[in-house]
Structure formats: structure tokens, C-alpha cells
Amino acid sequence: MTLPRTATTFAPPVMEARRWLDGVSFSEDFPLINVSQAAPVDPPPEGLRRHIAETALNVADAHLYGPVLGLPDLRAEVARQFGAAYGGDIAAAQVAITSGCNQAFCAAITAIAGEGDEVILPTPWYFNHKMWLDIMGVRTVPLATQGDLLPDPEAAEALITDRTRAIVLVTPNNPGGVEYPADLVQAFFDLARRRGLRLIVDETYRDFDSRTGAPHDLFKDPDWQDTLIQLYSFSKAYRLTGHRVGAMVTSAPLLAEVEKFLDTVTICPNQLGQHGALWGMQNLAQWLAGERAEILDRRAAISDHLPLVADKGWELMGVGAYFAYMRHPFELPSNELAPALVKQAHVLTLPGTMFMPETDADGARQLRIAFANVDRSGIRTLFERLAAVEL
């Protein structure tokens, strides 16, 4: 009997982690510190919420089916702002709006790969990417990274076969947090072009990159669209997680293939969310700069408070955007350590085993900490609790 597609992959990791909370009691004096999920928990700013409410009341079309590839005004605004930010030429016809960035990835893979094809993912990887490749019957080829969590283009080239269709990069990285240097991203672009592959660059966290200016120069290449597929999420920038609005930037011919997938899955992206994203892009630049500054301060707090756990054998492997990726000092593997931390330290985090192949022993030594919803003082408390753990 042939297995259904969903049976070919693992259960959603965040949902699995939430079940570790069952039967554990928390108190005001010793509350749960949840660093398991990389999503804002606060609602959008009031102005954005008001705009969505007014749109719901006054724009009749916002309740109807819209264009499969998204609202024309939003596509044009993404093209304009991204073109300016990256110093390249991007047309509205090269932008698609999707129901979140996860759907953008699913659509991209569906449009470029078939069953038995291969896609290269650096490890530790974003688990939803791996899940979709499993479901599609596309073989995931792990690209191991070293202590700095940066992938090596030469190592990637050694993995390419006649079934390879794409290389995927996430920068700033989930789960590792590291920001890929511009020359490294360029080297992967050059490799993909030379070998006739697509380079998928997931920039969900681009708004929280610590660097000033464009993080890479790929869009300055006049033929970028023949190789590059850029993915983006409005969820993190404008706290629109529940509205599910993402984007894909690539060639118009490839978007014609993407459109087939999107039309059969959601027909169109969430209309109210799209109106909200457009208003956010046009009105919230200063507010978003403040959000970025706060996240960068929390990133700094990770390094500032690291001595609290470093003396206990913890190591910081990568930090940036919403994440700190750490190596723990215990003999207990991380898939057992993470549930134990809920009970002993009232800390919910995700084990490295959720981001690595089962055959890679390094995952057992690693944990991901998503700190976007923990302020500077909360980060200190988090590290104090981790330093007190005895197993």
C-alpha cells in the first residue's frame, strides 16, 4: 500500500513542542519563558489595525476573490521598494503575493521540481522547508555547515547531480540566526547560474538584518530573474502572522507556473491582509525602524548575558534576527533535554534534532532560542534559569 504524501514527513515541530506543556504548572513567581516560536505575539500597531477595519467596512472588493498573484498595488509597491533597497530593476510582473512565506516556498518548489528531483538545504535547516520537500517526493540533500553555520559553495557544488533543481539559503538564518555575507550569497548565485539551477533565497527576516544597506547585490545583475527566487514575509515586519501574507520575486514566466499552484490551493491571498501589508509598506517605515532597533538590542542582550551560561559550558553558535542557536553542555540529547527544560526551568525551546537530519549527531547537542518576544531583562532571566539547570 502506498503511503499518503503527508505520511512521508514528520509532525509539525512547534505543535509537538506545545504538547510538552501539558501537565506542567506555572506560576507568577516562576512563569513559562516561551522561546520556541519565531513569531510576534503582539497585534499590529493601531493604525494598521484601523486600516484593516476600515477596509473591511468600506471596500466591498476586499471580501471577494482577488487576483491569484495578489493585489496589483501591493505587487507594484514590493517591486518599487525592493528595487530601491537592492539597487536593481524589479517589475510588478516579477512579484507574486502568497498566503505567507511558507506558501511561497511550497509554490516555488512545486514550480521547479518533480518527484525524485533534489534540492540542497544547508543544515541546520528550517523544518517546514524539509517537510514540504518530503511531501512533494523531492529528495532533500543536506549541506553541512561548520561552527560558524555558514554554508560552503564548494561543498554544495560537490553535492550537485543531474537531479538537482535548486539550492536554498535562508538569511538572516532560521534557525541559526547568522547573516550570510554578500559575497557568500553571490558565490551561491554564481554557482547556481553556472550549473543551471535556481537559487531560492528566503529573506523572511530581512527587516531585522543588523547591516546597513542591501544585504546582497543579486538584483543588480540584469538577468537576476533567470536564477533567483526571493521569498519574503510580511508577518514579521508588520505583525500580520494571522493574515498570512508573503511574497515571491522571480521571473514572470516562472510566476505563470506558480499561479497554477496558488489557484488550486487558495485561489487568492487574504485580501484584508494584503491591504494591511500595503498600508504598512507605505506608512510604517519609522515604526518598523523602531521594531528593528528593539530586536537588535535583544540580539545584543544575548551576547551581553552569555557569560551567565558560558561558564556552565553553553556555547553560542549563531545569533541574529529572531534567533540564538546554542550548543548545550549536557549528556542528555536535545530532543530529551528540551522537554526536561519545561519541567525544571519553565523554558520552552526547540531541540536541534528538529533542524537536522536524523543521521546527524550534532542536532543532539543544539537548541534554538527564538528571542523576539523576550525583552532584555527576560533574556537575562532565561540565561539565569539555564545556568541553574542540573541534569
Residue 157: CB atoms within 10 Å: 17
Every domain of the chain and the residues it spans: 5-43+287-388, 46-284
What percentage of the chain reaches a pLDDT higher than 90?
94
How much is the average pLDDT of 373-379? 94
User: How far, in Å, CA of 136 to CA of 320, rounded?
Assistant: 31
In angstroms, the CA 347 to CA 342 distance is 5
The amino acid at residue 105 is F
Whether the bond into 172 is cis, omega within 30 of 0: yes
pLDDT of residue 41: 85
Of 186, 176, 166, 81, nearest in space to 126 by CA: 176
Which pLDDT score, from 0 to 100, does residue 348 have? 96
Nearest to 219 by CA among 256, 182, 175: 182
The fraction of the chain above a pLDDT of 70, given in percent, is 100
Closest CA to 310 of 320, 324, 292, 322: 324
Q: Spelled out in words, what is the top-level CATH class assigned to the domain 46-284?
A: alpha beta
Give the three cell numbers for residue 370: 527564538
- Given a cut of 90, whether residue 136 has pLDDT beyond it is yes
Query: For the whole model, what pTM was predicted?
Result: 0.96
pLDDT for residue 242: 94
- The single-letter code of the amino acid at 176 is G
CA dist., res. 216 & res. 269, Å (int): 28
Q: β-strands 228-233, 198-202: how paired? A: parallel
Find the distance separating the first CA and the last CA of the chain, reported in whole Å: 44
Supply φ then ψ for residue 276, to 5 degrees: -65, -40
Check: CB of residue 136 under 8 Å from CB of residue 109: yes
| pLDDT single digits (tens) 253-312 | 999 999 999 999 999 999 999 999 999 999 999 999 999 999 999 999 999 999 999 999
* 300: Cβ contacts below 8 Å, ≥ 6 apart: none
| Apex 373 CA angle, 49 and 237, nearest 5 | 45
Q: What is the average pLDDT score of the chain?
A: 96
Contact 45, 284 (CB under 8 A): yes
CATH of segment(s) 5-43+287-388? 3.90.1150.10
- Is the model's pLDDT at 1 over the cut of 80? no
* Radius of gyration over every alpha carbon of the chain, rounded to an integer in angstroms: 21
